[in-house]
């Protein structure tokens, strides 16, 4: 019984802040409008790219998220939806699924590599990232993650090394010289020492007040570690959407444009712990960040918004009859009857990709052997095609 109430409270908790706040039945159309209808967009000359990565956000995780939003998740309303293969290079031989290091490297550099490698080719060569390319075009660049900065996904965009060498990766990221803004979760456990960022070697300024991010001039490189949370009570100041919003104000001061990577990292942790409640809390918080990016881009004609996942986590399967009201129902033995987890690790399942800005002909970019799919590395090729001045 105790478990039932915990689950019930958790459902209420999810309702309490997801999808713009309030339960679906509480919604006032005037105050809380429906998710924006997202068409292809009319971008002709791409100045800005916003890449949002839901770590571990599989196809059925998205379906479950849709149940808790009256009109579905903002991200799932986006155009140019296509299935994306995530296998790392090692996965071809050994049947193991990708990790975030290899998947992030594929997204950031277009090179499929081995698990554990961050920004490195299978031959251990340092790879050029989309961040490097953006900086080469004198654009501003930002990296946001809801987990510690030394995590594999953020590191693949600006560092080079092995995913477990946290201190080396962080030092590499600080000294890359190509990132103007780093925002990550406060590292309460002091996994690594981040002082190099604010040293004279790297030259970042620690911004402690989130409000100050948007007020900061581009001549100041920002380093912010915050107690980022998807918890309703503490998310006001440090929510993912707030951080995305503040960062867009800062980065868009550059007339040459910007590249922003923003990761919702803990959807993956919900998968690893087989916790639907955690997964949904994090997914709905991530989706609000997508909403901010979409609304920002819809007011302009120069910004591409890309949403994808690096891989699926947990082998989550949603039952055909699942609804928001019965999702947490259990059988007489206490087993969930409307969903299932197949594993506590990553899987090789395809993930969704969405792109707002223009109609995309994926056949121009796809290296997948399957029709109507692309590979994660092709996402880099697509992004790079939007920044055509640089020969990669
Ligand atoms: Zn993971």
Indicate the Cα dihedral angle 376, 378, 380, 385, nearest 10°.
Answer: -160
Distance from residue 44's CA to the centre of ligand 1 (Å): 36
CA of 29 to the centre of ligand 1 (A): 37
Residue 82 host element (H or E): strand 82-85
Q: Could you tell me the end-to-end alpha-carbon distance of the chain, in angstroms, rounded to an integer?
A: 59
Whether residue 101 has pLDDT greater than 50 = yes
- pTM for this model (two decimals): 0.90
Instruction: Copy the structure tokens of residue 9.
Output: 């409270």
- Residue 40 CB coordination number (10 Å): 14
344 CA to centre of ligand 1 in angstroms: 9
Whole-angstrom distance, CA of residue 156 vs CA of residue 266: 17
- Cα dist from 317 to 83, 99, 164, 301, 361, whole Å: 16, 20, 30, 38, 30
Helices and strands, counts by H and E, the chain: 13, 16
CA of 152 to the centre of ligand 1 (A): 10
All domains of the chain, ordered by start, with CATH?
Answer: 45-386 (3.40.720.10)
Q: Quick one: pLDDT band at residue 68, thresholds 50, 70, 90?
A: very high
What is the rounded distance in angstroms from the CA atom of residue 326 to the CA atom of residue 235? 27
| Chain segment 110-133, per-residue pLDDT in tens | 999 999 999 999 999 999 999 999
Question: pLDDT (tens digit, 9 = 90+) per residue, 126-169?
Answer: 999 999 999 999 999 999 999 999 999 999 999 999 999 999 99
Q: What is the CA(346)–ligand 1 centre distance, in A?
A: 6
In the reported structure, the alpha carbon of residue 104 is separated from the centroid of ligand 1 by a whole-number distance in angstroms of 12
Closest CA relative to residue 69, chosen from 9, 15, 13, 33: 15
* Listed range (184-193, 258-267, 332-341) with the worst mean pLDDT: 184-193
| Distance between CA atoms of residues 211 and 279, nearest Å | 28
> Three-state SS for 224?
strand
pLDDT tens by residue, 224-235: 999 887 765 555
- CA distance linking residue 390 with residue 47, whole number of Å: 14
The whole-number pLDDT of residue 230 equals 74
Do the beta carbons of residue 56 and residue 267 sit within 8 Å? yes
Q: Is the pLDDT of residue 98 over 80?
A: yes
Rounded distance from Cα 251 to ligand 1 centre (Å): 29
Question: Distance, CA 24 to ligand 1 centroid (Å)?
Answer: 31
| Res. 22: pLDDT tops 70 | no
Q: How far, in Å, from the CA of 347 to the mean position of ligand 1?
A: 10
- Kindly give the distance from the C-alpha atom of residue 265 to the centroid of ligand 1, in angstroms, as a whole number: 9
Q: Read off the pLDDT of residues 276-326 as tens digits, 9 standing for 90 and up.
A: 999 999 999 999 999 999 999 999 999 999 999 999 999 999 999 999 999
**Per-residue pLDDT tens digits for 43-60:** 989 999 999 999 999 999
């Amino acid at each position: 019984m105790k478990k039932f109430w915990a689950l019930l409270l958790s459902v209420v908790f999810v309702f309490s802040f997801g999808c713009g706040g309030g339960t679906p039945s509480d919604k006032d159309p005037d105050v809380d409008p429906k998710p924006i209808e997202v068409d292809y967009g009319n971008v002709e000359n791409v100045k800005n790219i916003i890449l949002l990565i839901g770590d571990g956000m599989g196809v059925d995780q998205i379906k479950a998220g849709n149940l808790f939003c009256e009109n579905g998740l903002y991200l799932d309303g986006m155009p140019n939806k296509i299935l994306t293969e995530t296998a790392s290079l090692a996965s071809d031989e050994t049947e193991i699924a990708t990790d975030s290091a290899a998947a992030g490297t594929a997204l950031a550099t277009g090179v499929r590599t081995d698990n554990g490698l961050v920004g490195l080719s299978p031959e251990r060569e340092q790879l050029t990232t989309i961040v490097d390319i953006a900086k080469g075009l004198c654009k501003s660049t930002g990296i946001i993650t809801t987990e510690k900065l030394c995590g594999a996904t953020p590191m693949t965009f600006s560092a080079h090394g092995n995913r477990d060498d946290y201190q080396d990766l962080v030092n590499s990221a600080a000294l890359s010289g190509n990132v103007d803004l780093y925002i990550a979760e406060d590292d309460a456990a002091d996994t690594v020492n981040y002082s190099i960022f604010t040293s004279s070697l790297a030259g970042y300024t620690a911004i402690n007040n989130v409000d100050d991010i948007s007020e900061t001039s581009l001549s100041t490189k920002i380093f912010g570690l915050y107690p980022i949370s998807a918890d309703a009570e503490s998310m006001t100041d440090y929510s993912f959407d707030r951080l995305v919003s503040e960062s867009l104000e800062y980065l868009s001061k550059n007339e040459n444009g910007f590249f922003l990577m923003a990761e919702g990292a803990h959807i993956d942790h919900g998968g690893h712990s087989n916790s639907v409640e955690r997964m949904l809390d994090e997914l709905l918080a991530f989706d609000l960040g997508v909403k901010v990016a979409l609304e920002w881009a819809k007011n302009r004609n120069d910004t591409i918004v890309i949403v994808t996942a690096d891989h699926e986590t947990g082998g989550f399967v949603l039952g055909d009859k699942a609804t928001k009201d019965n999702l947490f129902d259990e059988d007489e033995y206490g087993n969930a009857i409307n969903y299932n987890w197949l594993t506590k690790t990553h899987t090789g399942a395809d993930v969704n990709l969405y792109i707002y800005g223009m109609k995309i002909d994926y056949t121009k970019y796809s290296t997948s052997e399957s029709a109507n799919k692309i590979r994660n590395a092709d996402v880099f090729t697509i992004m790079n095609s939007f920044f055509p001045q640089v020969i990669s």
